[in-house]
Amino acid sequence: MPPIELLDLELAPGLSPLETFIACAHQMLDPATPEHVCRAMEPRLLAQLPVLRALGVFELLEVRDPAMRAWLNDELTALVTRVPQIVSA
């Protein structure tokens, strides 16, 4: 896969949650990305998790990087425990 150009997410406000997630993930996984940029991507990536979870993205796709997959699984588990469950009567 060709390298993905670093995105300035401030200049690309119309990205969908999936596009934002993928752009952030690629930047975070690129060894050439400076640490401060990776840290700036973390909250942006995590902010997409509720929408992507609701759409079922993680039931269809799996993150291949083991460290990122484990981190996201932890974050998704924490998200589920924080979000009140809707109970039908």
pLDDT tens across the length of the chain (89 residues): 344 455 555 556 688 999 999 999 999 999 999 999 999 999 999 999 999 999 999 999 999 999 999 999 999 999 888 766 555 54
- For residues 40 and 57, the answer to whether their CB atoms sit within 8 Å is no
The count of structural domains within the chain is 1
- What gap in Å lies between CA 77 and CA 20, rounded to an integer? 21
Domain enclosing residue 30, as ranges = 16-61
Indicate the Cα dihedral angle 49, 20, 6, 74, nearest 10°: 10
Q: Tell whether 72 is covered by a domain.
A: no
Prediction pTM value: 0.75
Q: Is residue 77 part of a domain?
A: no
Helix (H) or strand (E) holding 54: helix 49-55
Is there a domain that residue 44 lies in? yes
pLDDT score for 14: 80
Cα(9)–Cα(44) distance, integer angstroms: 9
